[in-house]
Structure formats: structure tokens, C-alpha cells
């Protein structure tokens, strides 16, 4: 059996895998894969076990900080998308600052796995406003795990933010930050106390309801869920039906995973009223992005949302 | 039968004619045993087809170890044969499944023989020439790779034979290609030139598009580049020892013991040693105490030609991953064959525990079990394992077998009890479907 590979055309077809060999973006993951499974850990700056806080603070240089958290699913169902996201998120800071979409962005990246089955189910870096973001992206362990149950530990990350994230934006100015989940599956049925103890080290004794954790998250954060194509469940209605009640119109489907940073930047710019969709797409075109079409399509439902005040449209509940 | 202590290496071996869920079992073990450090492929070559299903992901592993989706690295140890071009194809498939830098997961023995497109063409030429009298070859050039290396080693001349392969031309004086030689382009081109010259008369005798060859330089370029992307090690024993010192190492067998070159039903066998006898002896000599896990389905299968005493053409047991192969022949199913199973265990040199898969078929069909052939529970004498001469009697006996049937127990637990009592070996693993989540360990980490 096997394939039927008897000439070198098969080798030519493997160009992408050949190019990936020795890619420094994969250095940390490769180091981990050379260890027995149970010795694999998150890089120190991304380790969540025993972590007490993640802070986004104002400074003289950045007096009006905007905290932005981007957490992407790195389980196997995501296929090659985590590698794409890992590469593209390095562009996010530049997109936000060049476009003037928000004040003093501080970005914290992280990776989500399966808290029931994976060796490293949660990695969350630090809020950064310089190229230390790139370093943390390279140090993410792309475990490629998952339990095969179409559910991952997103809500454990939400619990982490609820209990650890401290932002001057909220504390001093009452301004919400941004959380983007990039994934293709549903939440586990609950935030398991067992997982919280194992992964974070908190002495939690009872499971938490997923809805409650996201409600709490929404108080301080604009929460988005991005479902990119080329993953396993892009066309599965169950995923959207699960997330709609949790994040409402902030459920975004993205045809082109390479446009993930573009999408996040425009979403923030539109929420901050710095741009409208048309202007944002023009900015992308000027910057040479090839993902404009996909980003535009992803944002149509969000652009058409009822805007509470000042947006020229009355809220739905009036 | 002994309990497995943590960290003890595990040797996974098929007790049938292949397709005993070796891939799914290795994936499951690598997921369940926390300190899994590596999967070692040690037999066969690129013709393996080990299926792993987890959630939305499925891959048929050929040369990468079946722990790959769980991020467990692969060590390819001679006598496994390496086909670098199909390795590149497999790496590309794995990348799409979310395995980053698949080549970074591979360490290959410098002594491993290399299967090239020339070997594959020779394999196909021979099967085309055999016509209806096919041997059930996969058409992947594995036998040709072994046969050519043996012919080179014995300086065979035209008219000699190597195993059951007639030598159709004088064998060149230059050595057969190994992974270590791929470090040098000149050495690679030299070895390929010699091989292509040797293959020419055979390929010319078959006028068929499947046996056309590309220029040697084109082949050399591809092979050398692939070898440069992975780790090729000269001291494989030290490398495997280091892996075993760090955690549990799973040795993933290929095919099934009943296809072994010295214990199978010759000539319907493979050009490879499938029994783990030598591997286990090597590991013991190095101070390790391997746990041998033998695998069987709850019924019998065979892919391709050759004796299969309990074959039942009226059984409707389709297989999602196995279809009729162009060179390999038909997919065949039949009933659980206890004389064959006991023989396979003996041929394997004994097993510590058994894994039983496809228990979801139990109770859905009128499945039978053969306790004996013509009243004899153990009709197959164990050969000495040194030559093919005594295998003719074995093949004759298997071909003429008249199995004594009774109904297979109607529940999975009943089947597991039956296998335990018929073999004297504990069933330690049970599977009722293709997914990782369909499997269960009957004792934690095989430590019962």
C-alpha cells in the first residue's frame, strides 16, 4: 500500500515541508519535541503555572495604553493555521501604530490547547509594545494536541484573564481592552477545577460555568472569536451556534488565515471609531496586503452591527 | 508474561498478515504513556500503512512513526529501509495536518538502505511480468532494495538467484546506497548509476509506462536534499540508548509476523524480518527489558495473495483504509484463527501481552473462531528461522488447512477472554473503533 511514489515529482510537491525544515520560528517547538512528552513545558515568559498577574501599564512613553490579547488555538484540528498565525501576528503592532487605530497598543499573545489531554494546554506571554512580541511568538510551543472532542480550553484562558490581567486602561480610565480568540472548536462543557489546579495552580474546588466566565470577561474586554478557514470545522454550524451566545456579533469567519493580523487591526480601529471598514480596507490595500477581500467579508456583520451611541444608529433595545 | 515497569521499552508487533492496528495502537500508547520519548521504526520500509485517526485528523503512516500526531519524534533504525522521496511526500501531508517542520522529527540510521525510484520501477516490472501469479507485493520497491543489497554483497552473477529473485545481470562492484552515502552527491550518483545499469535489462523486458526512469542526476539531487533536511546518525545504538534513558521508547513493528521472511508462508512473504526476535535480543544484550505487545483483530484479514485458512468470502467486513491495491491484490477477510495466532506468538518469540482491535465488529456479523485445523490445535511446527527450505512444508500445511469452527463469543469481553485462554497471554489493550478515543488500556500503562 502506501502511496505510489515512484518518481521525483512527489518530492517537488513537498516544497513547503522542505522549506519548513530548520525554520527558526519552530526552534522552541523542536526543542520540546526532543524531550519525553511529560517534560515539555511552556517557555518561562509564557508559563502560566503559578503566575499571579499580567500587567498592561501606562508609562511616560505610552501614557494611554490599550491592552490587546491575542490567543490562538494550537491543537491539531487547526492544521497549518497556527504556523500562519504565528508568523502573521508579528505584523500586528505595526498595523495598529501605522494606521493610528488606537492609542499605545500593548499586545499579549498566547496559545490554547486542550486542558484535559495536552501536555502544555495554556501559554500566555506578557503585554509588550515592542519586538519582544516576536520573541514570544517564536517561543510558543505548537503542541498540535487536542482530545478529539471538538472542544478546547478557551475558557480556561478567559478565567486566567479574569483572575490575572490588570490594566491601567480599565483601572484608570474605565476603558475596555481587546481579547481575540482564534480557533475552530467549542469550549469544554465547563472550566474544570481539576484543570485550573493542574495548569494554573489555583486551589479551585468547583467547576465554573463557561457562560459565567465569558460574562465576567466581557465586563473588562471586547471579546472576539475568529474562526479561520483551512481548519477542520470552518463550515460546521455547531461552532458558530456555540460561540454566538457568548460573543454575539463578534464572531468573525475569516476565509484567509494569512489575514489574521489585518483583521484584528481593522476590528480594533473600527471599535475605536478611528476608521470605518472602507477606510480600513483602503489602508490594507496601500500596505500591500493580499487579504483585504477576506478581511472585508469577515467584518461585514460586525460593521453592520447596531452601534450603541454616537454611531448614527439606535440601539436595538430602544 | 511479565508486568511492564515504567520506562520499559515497548515492542509493538502484528500477529497476523498486517493490518492489526499497529499505527492506532502506537498513537494511543504515545498519548497515554506520559514519558514517551520516541517511536522507533525498525523493520520493513515505505510499504507500511499504519492508520491513525484522532478527531478530524487521519493519516496513513508509512515511514514516520505513528506517534507523530502526538508530537513524538521518529527514529528509523536499520534494518528498516528508507525511501526518501515518499518520506518527503509524507512530510508534506503531515505539515497540512498541523505537524510543524516534520523533517525535524526524524533521525535516520546512516546504515539504512535507501529505496529509490529505480527499485520501485524494478518491483513493478517484476510484478507486471508475473501477471496473475503475483506475490502480493505492495509495489514500493522494498524487496528490490533488500535483494539488490544482498546481490551486491554476494557478488551475484547473471543466472544466480537471490531469494526467489532471478538475477538478470551481473551485479556491479559498487555498494548499495545507504542513508549515510547521501551526504555525498558523488557517492550517490555513483551508486545510482550502478543500480540503473543493473536494472536496465529487467525494465527493458517490460514495455510499460510504470517502469520509466528519470535521469540519475535528477534522482540524486532529490535524495541528497531530503537527507540534508533530517538527522542522519552513524551510531544508531547510542542514539536509541539515549532515547531509552530519557523515557519510554516504543518500537513500532511493520506488517505481521505471518508475513515474516523466515516464519511466513513462503513465497507469500515480505523481504523483511517482522518478528522482533533480533530486536529483543539486541535490547536485552544492552541491559534493557522490553515489553512485547502483540496485536490481533477480532477476525482475520489478509491483503494480497497467499494462504489464509479461515478466509470467508461471504463475510462482509469492509475496511475504511484498505482497498484493492494495484500491485498488492485483493483485501480479504475471514474468521479468528487461533492456530495461526498461537503460531504467530511462537514465531515472534513470545509476547508479554496482547492488544485486540476491531471489537466493534463482534456481535454485528456471524463471526466464527477456529480452535484447530483438522482436529490439531497447533498444526504449524516452528521453523528454525534459518532458511526458506523448511517453509515449503509450512505453506503446504496452511494451504491445505481445514479449520474447525465454532461461533465466536457475541460480546467483546467474551472475545478477550477467549483470546487470553487460547494463548495464555493477557489481553492488555482493547479497541472498538479506529479513533484514539476508541481504545482502552486494561491495565494502566501496561503495568499489570
Task: Closest CB to B35: pick one of A36, A81, A142.
Answer: A36
Instruction: Return residues 134-163 of A near B (CB < 8 Å).
Output: 142-150
Q: Are A231 and A85 in contact, with CB atoms under 8 Å apart?
A: no
Distance CA A200, CA A179 (A): 19
Phi then psi dihedrals of residue B295, to 5 deg? -125, 145
HEC string of chain A equals CCCCCCCCHHHHCCHHHHHHCCCHHHHHHHHHHCCCHHHCCCCHHHCCCCCCCEEECCCCCCCCCEEEEEEEECCHHHCCHHHHHHHHHHHHHHHHHHHCCCCCEEEEEEEECCCCCCCCCEEECCCECCCHHHHHHHCCCCCCCCCCCCEECHHHHHHHHHHHEEEHHHHHHCCCEEEEEECCCEECCEECHHHHHHHHCCCCCCCEEHHHHHHHHHHHEEEEEEEECCCCCCCCHHHHHHHHHHHHHHEEEECCHHHHHHHHHHHHHHHCCCCCHHHHHHHHHHCCCCCHHHHHHHHHHHHCCCCCCCCCCCCCCC
Contacts of A307 (CB under 8 A, 6+ apart): A313, A315
Q: Give the minimum alpha-carbon distance from B92 to chain A in angstroms, rounded to a whole number.
A: 5
Judge residue B212's burial from the number of C-beta atoms within 10 Å of its C-beta, 0-12 exposed, 13-18 middle, 19 or more buried: exposed
Task: Closest CB to A14: pick one of B89, B140, B436.
Answer: B89
The CA distances from residue A178 to A52, A65, A108, in Å, are 20, 12, 10
- Is it the case that residue A7 has pLDDT exceeding 80? no
Q: Give the minimum alpha-carbon distance from B350 to chain A in angstroms, rounded to a whole number.
A: 28
Grid cell of A90 as nine digits: 508579528
Tally of helices (H runs) and strands (E runs) in chain B: 11, 19
Q: Tell me, what's the pLDDT at B326?
A: 58
Interface test with chain A among B98, B215, B436, by most A beta carbons within 10 Å: B98
- Is it the case that residue A73 has pLDDT exceeding 90? yes
Distance CA B22, CA B37 (A): 18
CB contact (8 A) between residue A30 and residue B104: yes
- Is it the case that residue A305 has pLDDT exceeding 90? no
- With cell 454616537, the residue in question is A310
Number of A–B residue contacts, CB under 8 Å: 180
User: What pTM, to 2 d.p., does this model score?
Assistant: 0.93
Q: Superfamily assignment of A8-317 in CATH?
A: von Willebrand factor, type A domain (3.40.50.410)
Distance CA B87, CA B81 (A): 11
CB contact (8 A) between residue B92 and residue A79: no
Complex-level ipTM: 0.89
CB contact (8 A) between residue B89 and residue A5: yes
Q: Give the minimum alpha-carbon distance from B124 to chain A in angstroms, rounded to a whole number.
A: 10
CB contact (8 A) between residue B120 and residue A5: yes
- With cell 461585514, the residue in question is A300
Distance CA B278, CA B272 (A): 12
- Is it the case that residue A311 has pLDDT exceeding 50? no
Q: Tell me, what's the pLDDT at B28?
A: 97
Distance CA B136, CA A242 (A): 50
- With cell 484543570, the residue in question is A195
> Pseudo-torsion of CA B90, B96, B97, B98, nearest 10°?
120
SS3 B159: coil
Distance CA A28, CA A47 (A): 13
- With cell 502483540, the residue in question is B294
Q: Tell me, what's the pLDDT at B211?
A: 82
Q: Are A181 and A252 in contact, with CB atoms under 8 Å apart?
A: no
Distance CA B40, CA B66 (A): 10
Contacts of A223 (CB under 8 A, 6+ apart): A158, A179, A181, A214, A217, A246, A247, A250
What would the pLDDT profile of B71-118 be if each residue is shown by its tens digit?
Answer: 999 999 999 999 999 999 999 999 999 999 999 999 999 999 999 999
Q: Are B85 and B223 in contact, with CB atoms under 8 Å apart?
A: yes
Domains of chain A, by residue range, sit at 8-317
Nearest to A91 by CA among A154, A136, A41, A133: A133
A7-12 long-range contacts, CB within 8 A, separation 24+: A7/B85, A7/B117, A7/B214, A8/B85, A8/B117, A8/B214, A8/B218, A8/B219, A8/B221, A8/B222, A10/B85, A10/B86, A10/B88, A10/B89, A11/B84, A11/B85, A11/B88, A11/B89, A11/B222, A11/B225, A11/B226
SS3 B144: helix
CB contact (8 A) between residue A5 and residue B101: no
Cis-peptide into A19, omega within 30 deg: no
Q: Are B15 and B342 in contact, with CB atoms under 8 Å apart?
A: no
How far from the centroid of its chain's Cα atoms is residue A111's Cα?
7
Nearest to A92 by CA among A141, A134, A149, A42: A134
Grid cell of B90 as nine digits: 509524507
Residues of A in contact with B100 (CB under 8 A): 20, 23, 26, 29, 82-83, 142, 144
Q: Note down pLDDT in tens along chain B; length 448 residues.
A: 444 566 899 999 999 999 999 999 999 999 999 999 999 999 999 889 999 999 999 999 999 999 999 999 999 999 999 999 999 999 999 999 999 999 999 999 999 999 999 999 999 898 888 776 665 566 789 989 999 999 999 998 898 888 778 888 889 888 999 999 999 999 999 999 999 999 999 999 987 877 888 999 999 999 999 999 999 999 999 999 999 999 999 999 999 999 999 999 988 988 889 999 999 999 999 999 999 999 999 999 998 889 999 999 998 787 777 665 556 678 899 999 999 999 999 999 999 999 999 999 999 989 999 999 999 999 999 998 777 788 889 999 999 999 999 999 999 999 999 999 999 999 999 999 999 999 999 988 787 6
DSSP string for residues in B245-284: HHSEEEEEEEEEGGG-TTTSSTTSS-SS--SSHHHHHHHH
Q: Tell me, what's the pLDDT at A12?
A: 79
- With cell 531530503, the residue in question is B226
Nearest to B18 by CA among B43, B40, B54, B50: B50
Q: Are A260 and A288 in contact, with CB atoms under 8 Å apart?
A: no
Q: Tell me, what's the pLDDT at B448?
A: 62
Distance CA B73, CA B65 (A): 7
What would the pLDDT profile of A115-151 be if each residue is shown by its tens digit?
Answer: 999 999 999 999 999 999 999 999 999 999 999 999 9
Distance CA B62, CA B50 (A): 6
Q: How many other CB atoms are there within 10 angstroms of residue B446's CB atom?
A: 25
CB contact (8 A) between residue B247 and residue A32: no
Neighbouring C-alpha atoms within 13 Å toward the C-beta of B19:
20
Instruction: Return residues 59-88 of A near B (CB < 8 Å).
Output: 75-83
Q: Tell me, what's the pLDDT at B132?
A: 61
Interface test with chain A among B18, B93, B100, by most A beta carbons within 10 Å: B100
Distance CA A215, CA B236 (A): 55
Spatial strand order in the sheet of B368-373 = B336-337, B368-373, B403-407
Q: Tell me, what's the pLDDT at A304?
A: 84
Interface test with chain A among B55, B211, B304, B325, by most A beta carbons within 10 Å: B55
What would the pLDDT profile of A10-61 be if each residue is shown by its tens digit?
Answer: 777 788 788 888 888 888 999 999 999 999 999 999 999 999 999 999 999 9
Grid cell of A155 as nine digits: 475558557
Residues of B in contact with A87 (CB under 8 A): none
Provide the pairing of β-strand B291-297 with B10-14: parallel
Distance CA B175, CA B187 (A): 10
Q: Tell me, what's the pLDDT at B127?
A: 83
Grid cell of A132 as nine digits: 519582544
Q: Tell me, what's the pLDDT at A17?
A: 81
**A27 contacts chain B (CB < 8 A):** no
Residues of A in contact with B54 (CB under 8 A): 76, 146, 148
Q: Tell me, what's the pLDDT at A9?
A: 79
**A288 contacts chain B (CB < 8 A):** no
- Is it the case that residue A4 has pLDDT exceeding 50? no
**A24 contacts chain B (CB < 8 A):** no
End-to-end CA distance of chain B, in Å? 10
Q: Tell me, what's the pLDDT at B322?
A: 65
Q: Are B331 and B301 in contact, with CB atoms under 8 Å apart?
A: yes
What would the pLDDT profile of A196-219 be if each residue is shown by its tens digit?
Answer: 999 999 999 999 999 999 999 999
Q: Given pLDDT bands bounded at 50, 70 and 90, which one contains residue A1?
A: very low
Amino acid at each position: 500500500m502506501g502511496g505510489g511514489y515512484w518518481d521525483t515529482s512527489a518530492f517537488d510537491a513537498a516544497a513547503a515541508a522542505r522549506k519548513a525544515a530548520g525554520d527558526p520560528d519552530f526552534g522552541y517547538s523542536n526543542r520540546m519535541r526532543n524531550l519525553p512528552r511529560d517534560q515539555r513545558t511552556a517557555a518561562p515568559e509564557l508559563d502560566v503555572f503559578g503566575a499571579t498577574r499580567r500587567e498592561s501599564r501606562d508609562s511616560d512613553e505610552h501614557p494611554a495604553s490599550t491592552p490587546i490579547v491575542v490567543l490562538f488555538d494550537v491543537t491539531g484540528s487547526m492544521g497549518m493555521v497556527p504556523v500562519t498565525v504565528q508568523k502573521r501576528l508579528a505584523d500586528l503592532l505595526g498595523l495598529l501604530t501605522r494606521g493610528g487605530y488606537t492609542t499605545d497598543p500593548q499586545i499579549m499573545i498566547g496559545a490554547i490547547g486542550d486542558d484535559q489531554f495536552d501536555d502544555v494546554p495554556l501559554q500566555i506571554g506578557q503585554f509588550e509594545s515592542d519586538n519582544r512580541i516576536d520573541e514570544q511568538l517564536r517561543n510558543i510551543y505548537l503542541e498540535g494536541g487536542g482530545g478529539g472532542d471538538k472542544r478546547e480550553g478557551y475558557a480556561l484562558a478567559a478565567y486566567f484573564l479574569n483572575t490575572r490581567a490588570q490594566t491601567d486602561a480599565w483601572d484608570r480610565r474605565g476603558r475596555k481592552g481587546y481579547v481575540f480568540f482564534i480557533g475552530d472548536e467549542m469550549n469544554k462543557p465547563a472550566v474544570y477545577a481539576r484543570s485550573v489546579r493542574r495548569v494554573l495552580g489555583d486551589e479551585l474546588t468547583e467547576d465554573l460555568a463557561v457562560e459565567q466566565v465569558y460574562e465576567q470577561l466581557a465586563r473588562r474586554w471586547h471579546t472576539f472569536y475568529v474562526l479561520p478557514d483551512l481548519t477542520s470545522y470552518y463550515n460546521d454550524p455547531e461552532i458558530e451556534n456555540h460561540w454566538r451566545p457568548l460573543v454575539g456579533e463578534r464572531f468573525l469567519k475569516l476565509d484567509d488565515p494569512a489575514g489574521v493580523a489585518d483583521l484584528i487591526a481593522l476590528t480594533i480601529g473600527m471599535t475605536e471609531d478611528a476608521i470605518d471598514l472602507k477606510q480600513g480596507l483602503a489602508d490594507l490595500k496601500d500596505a500591500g496586503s493580499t487579504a483585504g477581500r477576506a478581511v472585508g467579508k469577515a467584518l461585514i456583520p460586525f460593521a453592520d452591527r447596531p452601534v450603541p451611541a454616537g454611531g448614527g444608529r439606535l440601539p436595538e433595545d430602544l | 508474561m511479565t508486568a511492564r515497569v515504567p520506562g520499559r521499552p515497548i515492542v509493538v508487533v502484528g500477529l497476523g498478515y498486517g493490518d492489526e492496528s499497529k499505527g492506532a495502537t502506537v498513537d494511543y500508547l504515545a498519548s497515554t504513556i506520559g514519558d514517551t520519548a520516541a517511536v522507533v521504526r525498525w523493520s520493513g520500509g515505505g510499504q507500511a500503512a499504519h492508520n491513525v485517526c484522532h478527531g478530524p485528523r487521519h493519516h496513513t503512516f508509512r515511514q514516520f512513526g505513528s506517534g507523530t500526531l502526538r508530537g513524538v519524534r521518529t527514529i528509523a533504525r536499520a534494518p528498516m529501509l528508507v525511501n526518501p522521496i515518499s518520506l518527503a511526500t509524507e512530510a508534506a501531508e503531515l505539515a497540512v495536518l498541523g505537524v510543524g517542520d516534520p523533517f525535524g522529527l526524524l533521525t535516520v540510521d546512516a546504515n539504512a538502505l535507501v529505496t529509490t525510484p529505480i527499485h520501485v520501477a524494478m518491483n513493478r516490472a517484476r510484478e507486471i511480468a508475473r501477471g496473475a501469479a503475483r506475490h502480493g507485493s505492495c509495489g514500493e520497491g522494498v524487496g528490490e532494495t533488500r535483494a539488490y543489497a544482498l546481490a551486491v554483497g554476494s557478488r551475484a552473477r547473471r543466472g544466480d538467484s537471490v531469494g526467489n529473485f532471478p538475477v538478470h545481470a551481473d551485479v556491479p562492484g559498487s555498494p548499495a546506497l545507504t542513508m549515510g552515502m547521501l551526504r555525498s552527491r558523488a557517492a550517490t550518483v555513483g551508486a545510482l548509476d550502478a543500480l540503473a545499469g543493473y536494472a536496465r535489462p529487467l525494465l527493458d523486458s517490460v514495455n510499460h509506462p510504470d517502469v520509466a526512469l528519470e535521469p540519475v542526476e535528477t534522482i540524486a539531487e532529490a535524495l541528497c536534499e531530503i537527507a540534508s533536511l533530517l538527522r542522519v546518525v552513524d551510531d544508531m545504538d547510542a542514539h536509541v540508548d539515549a532515547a531509552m534513558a530519557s523515557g519510554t521508547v516504543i518500537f513500532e513493528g511493520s506488517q505481521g509476523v505471518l508475513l515474516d521472511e523466515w516464519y511466513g508462508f513462503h513465497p507469500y512473504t515480505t523481504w523483511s524480518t517482522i518478528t522482533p526476535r533480533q530486536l529483543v535480543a539486541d535490547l536485552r544484550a544492552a541491559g534493557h527489558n522490553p515489553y512485547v505487545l502483540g496485536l490481533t483483530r477480532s477476525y482475520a484479514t489478509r491483503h494480497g495473495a497467499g494462504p489464509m485458512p479461515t478466509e470467508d468470502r461471504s463475510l462482509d467486513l469492509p475496511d475504511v483504509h484498505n482497498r484493492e491495491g494495484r500491485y498488492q491484490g485483493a483485501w480479504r477477510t475471514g474468521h479468528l484463527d487461533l492456530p495461526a495466532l498461537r503460531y504467530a506468538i511462537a514465531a515472534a518469540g513470545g509476547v508479554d501481552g496482547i492488544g485486540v482491535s476491531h471489537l466493534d465488529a463482534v456481535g454485528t456479523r456471524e463471526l466464527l473462531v477456529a480452535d484447530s485445523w483438522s482436529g490439531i490445535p497447533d498444526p504449524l511446527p516452528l521453523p528454525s528461522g534459518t532458511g526458506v527450505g523448511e517453509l515449503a512444508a509450512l505453506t503446504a500445511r496452511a494451504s491445505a488447512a481445514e479449520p474447525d469452527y465454532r461461533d465466536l463469543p457475541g460480546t467483546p469481553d467474551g472475545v478477550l477472554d477467549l483470546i487470553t485462554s487460547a494463548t495464555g497471554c493477557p489481553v492488555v489493550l482493547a479497541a472498538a473503533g479506529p479513533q484514539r478515543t476508541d481504545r482502552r488500556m486494561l491495565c494502566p500503562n501496561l503495568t499489570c
